[in-house]
C-alpha cells in the first residue's frame, strides 16, 4: 500500500513538472502575442495594421502604450523580419549613419551573440510608414490599452480619457461593457459618463433632436461635472439664437437649462460639504494651537506671542525625522511620521521649557511685558530657523496620507485631513484625562483656581507652571506636525497664519476652558472655509476678506458676551 502511494506521488510530481515545462506562463504567452502583433504593424495591408493596433490595445499591457507612441512617431523599423526600435543614430568618420537597436517590448538595447550592442547601418532598416489616420488611431489606442488594464486606477483613467473631446469612438464597445459589468462602481459611472459624452458629440440638435436631448437629460440626472462645460456652451448658442424650429428650440432650451441647474445645484451642495470638512480640519489645527494657549494663559496669565514659533518648531522637527529616515516620494518610509509625533512634541516642549525658565517666569501677572518679550523670542526663533533651513522646505506626506475616500459622487475626503481630525480628538481626550484624572492635572487646576491656597497645601506652583508651559508648547508642536500634511512649512508660518487665529479661539471660547476652545476652534475653522468661496455679485470674498469678516463677527460677539462662550474660572475670572 505504501509503495502504491509513493508511486502515485512520484507520478503526480512528474506530471506537474512536465506540464510546467510544456505550458508557457501567461507572461510568456502575452509577450509572444504582443511581439506577433507588433510584427503585423509592418505589414503592407492597412487593414492588418489597423487590426494589430486594436489587438495591442486590448491586451491591457501598459508596455503597449510606449510601443504605440513609437509607432505613431515613426520610430519603428523592420530589420531581418523583426520590428525594432530606433531612437538613436550616429555617424562614423566617413559620415556613414548607424542606428543603435532597441528591443521594442522591453526597451533594452539589443545585443548580439557576443553581448555587444547591435549598431546597424541605417540602410539595412526598412522604414514602417505610418499614415495620418494610423497615427490618430495609435494615439487613441494608447488610451484604449488602459480600458483592459487589471489595475482599477489605470482603467478609470482610460475610461475618463476616452470621453474627453472629441471622444474616442473606437472605445464605445468597451465602454458599454464597462458601464454595465465593471466590478468597481466608480468605473461604471465614469464609463457611462464617457459613453454619453461621445454620443453627445456624435448627435446634433438639428438632425437628431430627440436622442440628443435624451442624452442631455441623462447627463443632468448623472450630475455630470465633465459634461457641464459642453452643456453650457450649447445653451449659450441656443440663447444667442441657434437656427432651430420654434418648438424644438423651446424644448431644447428648457432641457439644457434643467440639466445645467441639476449639475450646478449638486456641485454647490457637494462644494458646501467639502468646505465644511476642510473647515473642520483647519479648526482641528486651531484647536491644537489654542489648547496650549488656553492652558498657559488660563493658568499663568501669560500672553505667549511665541506660541506660533513653537508650532513651527514641531513642523521642522517632523522635517528632520523625514531626513533621518530618508523618506522621499520615490523611496517612502512611512515610519518616519510615526516617530515624528513624539519628537515634535518633545522638541517643542523642551524649547517651551527653556523659554519659561529663562524669561516667562519673571513676567507672571505682567501681561504687557510678557507679550513683548515672547514676541521678541518668536522673532529670534524665526531668524535662527531661517538661517539654518532657508525660507521654505518640503515635507513629503507618508503614502497612507495621500489620496482620499470618495464618500459620495464628486466628494472626496482626503486621508490627511481625516488623520488631523482624529489626532485632534485624541489630544483633547488626553488633555481631559490629564486635567481630571492625574495628580499633575489636580495640581494644575488647583493652581489655576487659587495659587495661594495651592502653595499653602504644599503644591510647588513654580514647578507646575514650568510643566504646564512645556506641555502647552508640546501641543503646539503637535499642531505643526499635523500641519505638514496639508500646508507649507516656513519659518514664519506660526506668526503669519496661526497666532492671531489661536488667540481668537481662546478669547471666543473662554480663557482656560477646554470645551470653549473646542467649540470656538471648530466654529472659526468652518466659518473661515465657508466664507472664503462666497461671492457678492462679481466679487469673490477670498482668504483675506474672510479673515476680516470673521474678525468683525468675533468683535460683535464679544460685545454681547465678553467672557466668551464659557466663562473662565480661577485668577482670570475677575479680569
- For 26, 169, 234, 356, 421, the CA distances from 351, given in Å and listed in that order, are 60, 64, 62, 9, 26
* Cβ 251 vs Cβ 212: under 8 Å: no
Q: For residue range 483-505, what is the model confidence (pLDDT) as tens digits?
A: 999 888 999 998 888 888 888 88
Task: Enter the pTM of the model.
Answer: 0.78
Q: For residue range 130-158, what is the model confidence (pLDDT) as tens digits?
A: 888 888 888 888 888 888 888 888 899 98
Q: For residue range 25-51, what is the model confidence (pLDDT) as tens digits?
A: 444 458 888 888 888 888 888 889 888
The pLDDT of residue 512? 64
Residue range 393-408: mean pLDDT, rounded: 87
Residue range 327-339: mean pLDDT, rounded: 89
Positive/negative CA dihedral, 368, 443, 567, 514: positive
Report the distance separating Cα 460 and Cα 444, nearest Å.
10
The pLDDT of residue 22? 37
Work out the pLDDT band at 247, boundaries 50, 70, 90: low
Q: Select from 459, 426, 572 the least CA-distant residue to 506.
A: 572
Residue 353 has pLDDT above 80, yes or no: yes
The pLDDT of residue 330? 82
Q: For residue range 198-240, what is the model confidence (pLDDT) as tens digits?
A: 999 888 877 888 888 999 999 999 999 999 998 998 888 887 7
Residue range 436-456: mean pLDDT, rounded: 82
* Cβ 225 vs Cβ 263: under 8 Å: yes
The DSSP string of 403-437 is SEEEEETTEEEEHHHHHHHHHHHHHHHHHHHHHHH
Question: Beta-carbon neighbour count of residue 220 at 10 Å?
Answer: 22
Report the distance separating Cα 320 and Cα 314, nearest Å.
10
The DSSP string of 219-264 is HHHTT-TTTHHHHHHHHHHHHTT-S--HHHHHHHHHHHHHHHHHHH
Report the distance separating Cα 363 and Cα 68, nearest Å.
73
How many residues are given for the chain? 575
Work out the pLDDT band at 570, boundaries 50, 70, 90: very low
Compute the chain's Rg from CA coordinates: 34
Report the distance separating Cα 468 and Cα 352, nearest Å.
10
The pLDDT of residue 21? 35
Q: What is the three-state SS of 390-406?
A: CCCECCCCCHHHCCEEE
Residue 3 has pLDDT above 50, yes or no: no
Q: For residue range 281-305, what is the model confidence (pLDDT) as tens digits?
A: 999 999 988 888 877 776 667 788 8
Q: For residue range 341-352, what is the model confidence (pLDDT) as tens digits?
A: 999 999 999 999
Q: What angle do CA 226, 231, 236 make, to 5 degrees?
A: 140
Work out the pLDDT band at 2, boundaries 50, 70, 90: very low
166 CB-near residues (< 8 Å, 6+ apart): 201
The pLDDT of residue 342? 95
Residue 572 has pLDDT above 80, yes or no: no
Work out the pLDDT band at 562, boundaries 50, 70, 90: confident
Top-ranked range on mean pLDDT: pick from 88-97, 519-528, 542-551: 519-528
Residue 20 has pLDDT above 70, yes or no: no
Amino acid at each position: 500500500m505504501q509503495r502504491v502511494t509513493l508511486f502515485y506521488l512520484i507520478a503526480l510530481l512528474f506530471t506537474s513538472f512536465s506540464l510546467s515545462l510544456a505550458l508557457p506562463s501567461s507572461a510568456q504567452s502575452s509577450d509572444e502575442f504582443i511581439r506577433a502583433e507588433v510584427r503585423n504593424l509592418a505589414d503592407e495591408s492597412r487593414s492588418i495594421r489597423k487590426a494589430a493596433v486594436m489587438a495591442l490595445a486590448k491586451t491591457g499591457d501598459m508596455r503597449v502604450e510606449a510601443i504605440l507612441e513609437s509607432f505613431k512617431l515613426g520610430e519603428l523599423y523592420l530589420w531581418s523580419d523583426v520590428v525594432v526600435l530606433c531612437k538613436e543614430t550616429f555617424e562614423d568618420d566617413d559620415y556613414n549613419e548607424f542606428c543603435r537597436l532597441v528591443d521594442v517590448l522591453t526597451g533594452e538595447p539589443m545585443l548580439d551573440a557576443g553581448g555587444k550592442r547591435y549598431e546597424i547601418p541605417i540602410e539595412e532598416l526598412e522604414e514602417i510608414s505610418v499614415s495620418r489616420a494610423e497615427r490618430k488611431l495609435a494615439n487613441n489606442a494608447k488610451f484604449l490599452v488602459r480600458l483592459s488594464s487589471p489595475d482599477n486606477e489605470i482603467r478609470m483613467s482610460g475610461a475618463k480619457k476616452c470621453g474627453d473631446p472629441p471622444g474616442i469612438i473606437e472605445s464605445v464597445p468597451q465602454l458599454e461593457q464597462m458601464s454595465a459589468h465593471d466590478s468597481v462602481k466608480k468605473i461604471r459611472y465614469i464609463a457611462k459618463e464617457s459613453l454619453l459624452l461621445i454620443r453627445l458629440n456624435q448627435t446634433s440638435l438639428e438632425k437628431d433632436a430627440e436622442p440628443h436631448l435624451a442624452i442631455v437629460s441623462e447627463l443632468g440626472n448623472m450630475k455630470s461635472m465633465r459634461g457641464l462645460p459642453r452643456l453650457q456652451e450649447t445653451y449659450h448658442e441656443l440663447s444667442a439664437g441657434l437656427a432651430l424650429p420654434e418648438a424644438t428650440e423651446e424644448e431644447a432650451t428648457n432641457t439644457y437649462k434643467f440639466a445645467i441647474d441639476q449639475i450646478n445645484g449638486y456641485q454647490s451642495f457637494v462644494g458646501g460639504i467639502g468646505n465644511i470638512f476642510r473647515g473642520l480640519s483647519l479648526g482641528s489645527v486651531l484647536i491644537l494651537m489654542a489648547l496650549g494657549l488656553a492652558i498657559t494663559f488660563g493658568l499663568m496669565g501669560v500672553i505667549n506671542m511665541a506660541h506660533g514659533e513653537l508650532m513651527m518648531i514641531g513642523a521642522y522637527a517632523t522635517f528632520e525625522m523625514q531626513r533621518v529616515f530618508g523618506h522621499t516620494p520615490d523611496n517612502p518610509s512611512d515610519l518616519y511620521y510615526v516617530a515624528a509625533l513624539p519628537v515634535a512634541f518633545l522638541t517643542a516642549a523642551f524649547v517651551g521649557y527653556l523659554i519659561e525658565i529663562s524669561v516667562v517666569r519673571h513676567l507672571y501677572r505682567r501681561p504687557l511685558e510678557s507679550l513683548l518679550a515672547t514676541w521678541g523670542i518668536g522673532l529670534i526663533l524665526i531668524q535662527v530657523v531661517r538661517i539654518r533651513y532657508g525660507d521654505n522646505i518640503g515635507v513629503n506626506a507618508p503614502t497612507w496620507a495621500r489620496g482620499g475616500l470618495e464618500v459620495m459622487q464628486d466628494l472626496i475626503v482626503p486621508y490627511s485631513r481625516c488623520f488631523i481630525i482624529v489626532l485632534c480628538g485624541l489630544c483633547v481626550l488626553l488633555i481631559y484625562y490629564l486635567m481630571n484624572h492625574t495628580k499633575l492635572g489636580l495640581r494644575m487646576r488647583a493652581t489655576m483656581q487659587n495659587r495661594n491656597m495651592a502653595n499653602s497645601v504644599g503644591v510647588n506652583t513654580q514647578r507646575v507652571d514650568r510643566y504646564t508651559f512645556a506641555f502647552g508648547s508640546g501641543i503646539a508642536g503637535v499642531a505643526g506636525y499635523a500641519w505638514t500634511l496639508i500646508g507649507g512649512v516656513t519659518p514664519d508660518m506660526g506668526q503669519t497664519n496661526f497666532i492671531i487665529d489661536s488667540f481668537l479661539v481662546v478669547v471666543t471660547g473662554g480663557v482656560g476652558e477646554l470645551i470653549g476652545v473646542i467649540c470656538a476652534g471648530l466654529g472659526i475653522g468652518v466659518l473661515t472655509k465657508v466664507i472664503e468661496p462666497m461671492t457678492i455679485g462679481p466679487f469673490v470674498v477670498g482668504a483675506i476678506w474672510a479673515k476680516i469678516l470673521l474678525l468683525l463677527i468675533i468683535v460683535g460677539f464679544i460685545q454681547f458676551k465678553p467672557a466668551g462662550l464659557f466663562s473662565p474660572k480661577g485668577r482670570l475670572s475677575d479680569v
